Every structure is written in C-alpha cells, then in structure tokens.
Structure 1
Amino acid sequence: MDNTEQKFLKQLDDKLWKAADKLRANLDAANYKHVVLGLIFLKYVSDAFEERQEQLLELFKTDDEDNLYYLPRDDFDSDEEYQEALTEELEVLDYYREANVFWVPKAARWSTLKEKAVLPIGSVLWQDDAGNDVKLRSVSWLIDNALEEIEKSNSKLKGILNRISQYQLENEKLIGLINTFSDTSFTKPELGGERLNLQSKDILGHVYEYFLGQFALAEGKQGGQYYTPKSIVTLIVEMLQPYSGRVYDPAMGSGGFFVSSDKFIEEHAKEQHYDASEQRKHISVYGQESNPTTWRLAAMNMAIRGIDFNFGKKNADSFLNDQHADLRADFVMANPPFNVKDWWNESLADDVRWKYGTPPKGNANFAWVQHMLHHLAPTGSMGILLANGSMSSNTNNEGEIRKRLIEEDLVECMVALPGQLFTNTQIPACIWFLTKDKANGMVRNEKNRDRRGEFLFIDARELGYMKDRVLRDFTNDDIAKVADTFHQWQQGEGYEDIAGFCKSVNLDDIKKHDFVLTPGRYVGAKEQEDDGEPFNEKMARLTAQLSEQFAESERLEAEIKRNLGGLGYGL
C-alpha cells in the first residue's frame, strides 16, 4: 500500500471514528459497536450494489456481439419505454448474485435511508405489499427495517445482523452518523482528486478491523473477547501457512484468524503469480463462538469479505455443545480466553477429548489445547495463544498433561511473546505450535523434513515497539523474523541457534528442565558485543565516572538550596 492509500485510510478512520465516538455519551462501549458496524455494513452493501448497477447499465447499453446483457434501444417505441425497461432490468436479483454482490432491496439502500431519515416522524414512507401505508416510527426503526430487508433477501445473512432499536438512540444522533457516512465511498476512493486503486472490500475490511480494535480499547477488559491483535494473528497465520484445507477456530471471536488467512492467500498469490480467487476455493472455514453478539459480528465479518463459512447452527459453548463434532481440520488457530475458571461441567468428566489427561476444573487452558488436538487432522498443525503459566504450571494435573504432549511428540515450537500486546489483559502470553505429523510422513508440506524428537524454542520478548504509551506491537520485520526462523528449522535449510532468541533442542534437554517449556530456559542469554576493553579497566573507568556524577549531583543540590534560600525559602 503506498503513502497516498495509507493517508486516505488514516483520514477515513479518523473521520468515521470521530463521528461514531459521539455515541459514547449515550451508550456503553459494549453496545455502540453494534450501531456503528451495522451502519458501516449498510453503507458498504449499498455502495457495492450501486457500483454493480452502474456496471450493468453500461452493459445494457453496449452493443457488442459477446455482450449477453445488451438491451437494444431499437426494440422499444420510445425513450420513455427504453428507460423503464432499463430501470426494470436493474432490479433483477440474479445480476447481483452472479457477481457475488449482496442484493439490497429499495427500502435498505443508503439513498433511501438518507432521504427518509430526515422526514418528520409519522411521515408515509412507502406502501407495503398489501397496499397499506408504512410510516416512519423512528430513525432506529428505519435502520432496523433496512437490516431486516437485507436478511430476507440474502440467506447467508439470516439472523446475524444486530438490530439497534433496543439501544433507544436519539434520532438526531443517528441522522448525524448517516450524514457523516454518506460523505464516504467504499467503491470510489479518492484523495485530493486522485482516484485510488483500493478495492471496496479492502477499504471495508480495514475500517471494520480498525473499529474492532478501537472498540476493544474502549471496552477494556471485556473487549478482548472478540478481538485479537492483528500482528499476533498475522504471526500465527504466517507460521502455519494455511494455503488450502479446513481451517478451524473454536474460540473465534470476530473471526480474525479467518480474515488473516484470506489475506495470506491473497498476498502469496501475488508473489507466486496465481489466481487468489481460485486458491480460496481450496479453503473451508469453520468456527465456533459462545457469545451471541460476537457470533454475529464474526458472521458479518465473513459476509462483507465474501468468505464462505460454517459457524454452526448457533452460538454455543465449544466444550458443552460442539458444533463441529466430526470435523478434523488441517489448521486450527485460536486465542481462547486465558485461564478460564468456570468452564467445567460434570458431563465432561470422561470426555473423549481428554486423551492426554483430564484438565483441571479451575483452568481451561489444557482443555482448549486438547479440544483443538481432537479436531486436528492426522497431518494437521495448530497454533494457540495461552497464558505463560501453561508452559510451567504443575498444579492440578497440568504438568502431567504437558509432559504427555511432549512425550507424544506433539509439541513443535514454543514462542514467548513480549508484554503489553493485548488491549484487555496484562497477563504475559505465549504461542504453542503443535502438529500430529512431525515426521512429515504424509507429505502435506514437501519442503518440511522429519522433525521427530526435536523442539524449537523462540524468545520474541525483545521484539516489537511501543505504538503508544499502553500497547506494544510487532513490525512486519518482527513477524518475518519469527516465521522465517520457524520455517528454516522445519525445512532444515538456513537455520542456526541464536543465543537469546532461538534454540533447537531434543527430548532429553526438556526432561532436564522437568518438562517446562519456557523458551527463556533454553535459548540462553543474548551474546554481548566485545568492545575490546578489559573488564578490570572498564570497571575502574565506570566506577570513577559514577563518582564524578555523584559529586556533580551534590554540587548542583547545594546550588539549588542556596538559590532557594535567597528567595526566602528555608531548606
């Protein structure tokens, strides 16, 4: 993305967020995201619909022997009849579905919202199918009606668009949002009169992601239930490389791993010069989420990007109501909530998923690990974010489960992360990478070697930068450094241990550390550069320098006291 495109997106972010943030005085942070994201969704689908209309209109008027859409003017007696025919043809639903564009009924189009929202309450808007007058009840009702109409016409969206009337927002507030959003276009981006090459889904995806991050910040601790930092998601996806197969996330939040997998395919398609849309046909997305509003957010996130998905029949608890019981996925990726205490139910006591030991009732960390392993295909690989305690805890059977996982040779790589990466918790985190085929015997990846009995540790705690006073983030170079190290180790080409960063060990090494998987125990300390000065001489020099600084500090303190004394302040 060039600087002009980045500038455009930054201005768009700031503009839309400033407008949306005005709702904060009227709504809790947990609620106003549904209002804002619902309106953004309506604006996008309407823009995409209108763009398709413009394309169709051009096709209807273009006389070309290969153009099946051509509508000859000579077939009509008058211009009026011709225009009526064009208008009628533009309302044919199949023209939109064939281009993977959502059908937007007239009552749900943005132009309708903008026009009707400013009318006096009680004004007649249109007539229903029975010929009865439909009157304006409120602006929130008008928006809900639009969402309902879109759901009726698009089966993929049924039951996932959150209604906003329940939040009882003032009409003027919503009219202000509609007016602000009206000044943006997802299909014709330009900056300073320059038309940009950004695709509408890219713009919408960026805005959606930005807003989820901002809402997570605003909500604090609870916000993380649907948002995982983009750089962490990208890191896991880049390490697992989900080119094709079944991708599963049993704690999907808003579906960030699926979005990142889609972006991964697109970026690597550019590098390899193949068709990303064709490659996407080889990916199937499966997810589960217990929170009903977050489940809807995830479904909407997929729908706006054109990603086919299976999120089960409803929101549900992954442990108690597994929506994909028979699934065996090629890639499993998740950021489940850390250290969940109230997850247990007696019906889980002898569950088939606890192959490596029954998880403690007071902590779900190893329940998530085993649930994901249960759903992993024989050649599958998985990455899971967990609290650091999972690498070393020996309480309530956790140590025994970890030992079994290591002895069964399922653990492939451990990555220690820096602090302050998450908006919702300060708990230090790590990433576990596991696989059922370290032998590479079934050759899912021809480049990989037989890695049985080997384990890779990466200490990434020194990577990243402070993006603001609170949050840390990874750069693209940081992500590439970790992912490349992992792939070089997997393939046996170009890998070498780096003190303080990475180390390849065997089972005996891990046994010596009592099956603790903390990378810092294995990678050692970072090598210090030798500046050529002998230690004794350096110590003497630094000690003398410190004494001089202490003396100077005492002199300055005495000078300050004298000056203050002259002003009448006794010290």
Structure 2
Amino acid sequence: MELLQLVEKFKSVFRIEKIEDVVDELKSTLLNAEKCRKLCEDWILICPDLTIDYMQMIFQYYFADRKEKMQDYTPKSLAVAVAELSKTKDEKNCLDLCAGSGALTIQKWNENNDLKFICKEYDSRVIPFLLFNLAIRNIDAEVIHCDVLSDEIFKTYRTQKGNRFATVKEITKSEFKADCCISNPPYNMKWEQPVFAQLQNRFSQCEVPPESNANYAFVLTALDEITGKASFILPNGVLSTDNQKEKQIRQYLVEMNFIESIIVCPDKMFEVTSIPTCIITFNKNKQHSTVEMIDLRQRYETEQRMQNGQFGGKSHTNRTYAKEVKVISESQIQDVLIQIEQYGNIAGYCKAVSIEEIKNNNYVLVPSRYIEFENIENAHRPYNEIVADINRIITEKNTCKLTINETIAKSLGFDIELFKQDNSTNNDFSKLTEKICGEKIVKNDYFKTTKNKNEITFANNSKENISSILMMIFNTWKQHIYYLNVEENRYLAELRDALLPELMSGKIDIGDI
C-alpha cells in the first residue's frame, strides 16, 4: 500500500481531518475497551496484514523529530535480523528497550506469537502508536513509559490478550521479567550518571559508561535485566572507541564471554541516520568461546521509501520524495544464522574469532580486523567509510570553537604551528580522498588565534548539536557560579547586618541617595 493511500484510510478510520490530531485521539480511545475494539475492527478492514508496521510508517512520516532528535526508526530488514538473532529455545518474555512504535516487537512477535513483551519507551508521543500496535495484534505486553537509563518510570500500561484484540489499561507496576532483549537505542546520546552508579548491579562489575555517550549504558542495562540473549543495533563506533571507560567495558564483555556475534551492516539502511551501524548479539549462556565476526557491507539489496522534506524552506518541507535505502534480504539473514551456528570462516565474509585473538588486538571488535580477504589489495574498509569516520571525529571537534589571544595561547603552551599544520594536512588528504572516493575530509575549525587583548571565547560552532566539551565547561562554570553566588549572599547578609543598626539609629542618612 502506498503511503499517501494509507494516510487517507488512516484519517477515515480515526475520523480526523488532520493527521496531527491522531495522538490525542489514540490516547482517549485506547483506554476505553469498547472504543478500542471498534477502532481495531475498522483498522483490520483496511490493513489486514499484521506483519507490517503501518503505524511506524505514519509516525516516521509525520511525527519523527529529525531536526533536533534526528529520530529515525528501525528498517524492517534490521528488525527481522534482530528478531532472529535474539531467538532462544525457551524464550517467553522479551524486553524491547527503546521500543518506539514497536517495529522490533512486531517482527519478534511474527516469529513467535506466544511471546509476552516488556516495551520500554521515553517519547510520550509514540506511546499511543505502540499501544495500538500491540492491541490490534492481541499481544500480551507491558508498556513502560520511562527513562531507561535513570530508571525513572512515568506510567505503566498493560495490553491484556483477549479473544481477538488486546485491551489497554493503566497499571501501577510491572510484573513481567525478561529472558531476552531486542533494541535499537538512540545513538551516541549524552546521559547523566545516576548517583552512586557504580553501586548499581548493572555497572558494578565494570566501568560506568561515560556521560558523553550512552551506547554501553543501554547495553549494560539490558544485560542486567535478562537471563539469555540480547541483540542490539548500534553505531560502529562502539566496536573501536578509544574512550578508556568504553574500552574497559568492551574488555569486560569479551572476557565474560557475553558476545556471540558482531555483524557490520551496509550503510544507508536508515532514512535519515548516516552513522554506520552494526548488530551485536550478546548471550549470557554461551557454550563456546569464539565471536562470529560478519561483514555485510557489500551484501545488500535496495528499495525506495517515501519521505517528507524536513529541512530548509516550505518548498522543501512540503515536498514528498522517494529515497533509496539498502536492505538485508531474508535469505541473507538465514545465511548469517547458519554461519553463527557453524562458526563459519569464509574469506571476505565471516570468521569465528577466539577471545585470545581479540585480546591480542586490544579488544577492538571491528570484523574487518579479523576476516581474511581473498585479495589483499582490498583488505581495508571502503575509503568512503574511513572518510566518514574521520569526518565524524572532526565534526565533533568543530562543534566547540576556541578563539584565544595569541600571546595567552603561547603562554598556556598551545603549539599554534601544530594547529596550522593540522589544517594543512587535512586539506592535502581531502583533495586525495575526493579524487579516489568522491568524499572530502571536512576542514578543522575548532581553534583560532586573535590579536584582541585578553580575548578567550568558547563558542558552540554547530546549529545541530551541542558540544560535549562545551557542556563540560558549562557544568564547571555553573558549579563555580553557584559557589560565588553563595559567597556573594554571605557578604550581602554581612553588609545588611552592619547597616541595619546604624540606619535605624539615624547615624547613616540615606535621604540623599
């Protein structure tokens, strides 16, 4: 069904003129058993295929926050892959961490209609879509509107399985316990560590993930809640980050023998997110000590998806256009499962890697580091992917720009010539990479000297992101301003107490002030 046809049918079922009104309509309808049943019956008439997440298509098209949150929802082929990879023989209750509208849950349910689900989600706007997706499929589930990382719960709902459709009600507490997990959490998100985080069970055996990046915080949270497998879609950066805390967490996960497989995915699988992604499957009950490394970057098919313009003027944002994306075929997914089960070793494709070999490679988990290639000339990653990683790092540096008086910079030990050389080197590489792969290396723009006396200025140099460096500076500034305000109030109180008796006695006359 074409998206715009779906939208018209959608509006007729919900009896709304504007699609934006559907969030409030769903909220009021779902908690009324009779209205919910009638809505499900009407919807089934126009969309009888429950294996397809039509609600995700609607939410992604009309409600996804691409400008600030860069929201992008899980493509079906990745959801199918995660559903298969997380499968265990005795699974009963599945946790969907950061569930969105339920794309991963639906594909997991397609594999096993008897599963119960615990769906945790932060975005209040998508919760009604998620509840409706569960109700219409008659899925027994708990939907927990919460902050997964702080474990703060706002509301909890239950979709109770019925004869044909589930009923929806609000409950006081969760009762399900998960034995497996599926997740596509927000990538590279900043977070705030809870007080005494190191004492929490999820972080007690390793480092607490850095506040600059929550990727491993999601992983460790999930592993603490389940007894079996967890399959995560994550940015490739988690495989090789140099952050010391994240390196220690990688080492912990490897040495605990929790990692079952790592699959590097093709690029351009998402509609908006350009970050290279991978699927990591964790297994707390592994019976062997190897990690299956798989490279799918050159093994994909393509399809087109309809998308709303999200940036620029009205001439662009009012436009609908088709975007080509890459997908992993079901036959490819089945082949991946076979390689994992058989500890496959195929040149240029996959390899079962021992923990000792990973240890000797400083716990770097990038599959291309281990997989043998038939042609040694092509043993490296594609140039455009390497350039994309370089640009990601430079862009992060450029987000915070320091302008400083040249004399002060030198007195503080800044090697100004080194910064100038940094820019020059990048310019040379940029010309080369543009020639060989069509991608330029972006210019370094995070440091500038000035002749203005005593000038030191930090500026957020991006319209899209807030610099993590600047946030650290801001937090230090905020703490010190708080201290200075306390000191100021102390001295103001002292001044008041000194002045008051003399003002009352008339010793000081303020008539002329």
Give the one of 351, 361, 370 matched to 2:220: 370
- Offset at residue 258 of structure 1 (A): 1.2
Give the one of 503, 513, 517 matched to 2:361: 513
Change (3 A) 1:325 1:504: farther
Aligned-partner Cα distance in 1 for 2:116–2:339: 28
Aligned-partner Cα distance in 1 for 2:284–2:331: 29
Give the one of 277, 296, 299 matched to 1:463: 299
- Offset at residue 250 of structure 1 (A): 2.0
Aligned-partner Cα distance in 2 for 1:484–1:287: 29
1:420 is aligned to 268
Kindly provide the CA deviation profile for residues 230-272 of structure 1, in whole angstroms up to 9, marking residues without a partner as x.
Answer: 110101112222564110012111111110011123xxxxxxx
The TM-score with structure 2 as length reference comes to: 0.58
3-state SS in 2 of match to 1:285: strand
1:309 is aligned to 141
1:254 is aligned to 101
Aligned-partner Cα distance in 2 for 1:515–1:143: 45
Kindly provide the CA deviation profile for residues 181-233 of structure 1, in whole angstroms up to 9, marking residues without a partner as x.
Answer: xxx986567xxxxxxxxxx54169453344345447x7546686472111101
- Offset at residue 343 of structure 1 (A): 3.8
1:151 is aligned to 31
3-state SS in 1 of match to 2:130: helix
Decide whether the 8 Å contact of 2:72 with 2:270 is kept in 1.
no
- Offset at residue 466 of structure 1 (A): 3.3
- Offset at residue 510 of structure 1 (A): 0.8
- Give matches, 1:3-14, under 5 Å: 9-10=1-2, 13-14=3-4
Aligned-partner Cα distance in 2 for 1:141–1:471: 30
Residue 502, structure 1, aligned to residue 350, structure 2: yes
2:418 is aligned to none
Q: Which has the higher strand share?
A: 2
1:229 is aligned to 75
Change (3 A) 1:251 1:404: same
- Offset at residue 478 of structure 1 (A): 2.4
Decide whether the 8 Å contact of 2:263 with 2:294 is kept in 1.
yes
Give the letter for the 2:238 counterpart.
Answer: S
Aligned-partner Cα distance in 2 for 1:143–1:520: 44
Change (3 A) 1:336 1:343: farther
Equivalenced residues, count: 336
2:282 is aligned to 434
Residue 295, structure 1, aligned to residue 114, structure 2: no
Change (3 A) 1:350 1:303: same
Decide whether the 8 Å contact of 1:226 with 1:253 is kept in 2.
no
2:208 is aligned to 358
- Give matches, 1:115-264, under 5 Å: 148=28, 151-154=31-34, 201-202=48-49, 205-215=52-62, 220=66, 225=71, 227-241=73-87, 244-264=91-111
Decide whether the 8 Å contact of 1:338 with 1:386 is kept in 2.
yes
1:28 is aligned to none
- Offset at residue 356 of structure 1 (A): 2.3
Aligned-partner Cα distance in 1 for 2:23–2:251: 55
Residue 401, structure 1, aligned to residue 249, structure 2: yes
- Give the unaligned 5+ runs of structure 2: 154-172, 305-322, 378-513
3-state SS in 2 of match to 1:511: helix
Give the letter for the 1:319 counterpart.
Answer: L
3-state SS in 1 of match to 2:147: coil
Decide whether the 8 Å contact of 1:418 with 1:461 is kept in 2.
yes
Kindly provide the CA deviation profile for residues 426-484 of structure 1, in whole angstroms up to 9, marking residues without a partner as x.
Answer: 11111111111112xxxxxxxxxxx1x21110111111133245422222222222233
Aligned-partner Cα distance in 1 for 2:185–2:324: 22
The TM-score with structure 1 as length reference comes to: 0.52
Change (3 A) 1:156 1:344: farther
Decide whether the 8 Å contact of 2:20 with 2:62 is kept in 1.
no
Give the letter for the 1:248 counterpart.
Answer: L
Decide whether the 8 Å contact of 1:226 with 1:294 is kept in 2.
no
- Give matches, 1:519-534, under 5 Å: 519-526=367-374
- Offset at residue 151 of structure 1 (A): 3.2
Task: Give identity over the alignment, percent.
Answer: 24
Aligned-partner Cα distance in 1 for 2:339–2:28: 49
Aligned-partner Cα distance in 2 for 1:416–1:308: 33
Decide whether the 8 Å contact of 1:360 with 1:396 is kept in 2.
no
Give the letter for the 1:351 counterpart.
Answer: Q
- Offset at residue 304 of structure 1 (A): 1.8
- Offset at residue 384 of structure 1 (A): 0.8
3-state SS in 2 of match to 1:341: coil
- Offset at residue 321 of structure 1 (A): 2.3
3-state SS in 1 of match to 2:262: strand
Kindly provide the CA deviation profile for residues 475-514 of structure 1, in whole angstroms up to 9, marking residues without a partner as x.
Answer: 222222223322333xxxxxx4111110012112112211
Kindly provide the CA deviation profile for residues 19-77 of structure 1, in whole angstroms up to 9, marking residues without a partner as x.
Answer: 49xxxxxxxxxxxxxxx5xx46x45xxxxxxxxxxxxxxxxxxxxxxxxxxxxxxxxxx
Kindly provide the CA deviation profile for residues 98-131 of structure 1, in whole angstroms up to 9, marking residues without a partner as x.
Answer: xxxxxxxxxxxxxxx69xx9xxxxxxxxxxxxxx
Decide whether the 8 Å contact of 2:30 with 2:132 is kept in 1.
no
Decide whether the 8 Å contact of 1:186 with 1:204 is kept in 2.
no
Change (3 A) 1:145 1:208: closer
Aligned-partner Cα distance in 2 for 1:460–1:433: 15
3-state SS in 2 of match to 1:288: strand
Q: Which has the larger radius of gyration?
A: 1
Change (3 A) 1:387 1:152: same
Aligned-partner Cα distance in 1 for 2:22–2:371: 60
Q: Which has the higher helix share?
A: 1
Residue 329, structure 1, aligned to residue 178, structure 2: yes
Aligned-partner Cα distance in 2 for 1:142–1:502: 46
Give the letter for the 1:249 counterpart.
Answer: D
Aligned-partner Cα distance in 2 for 1:515–1:500: 21
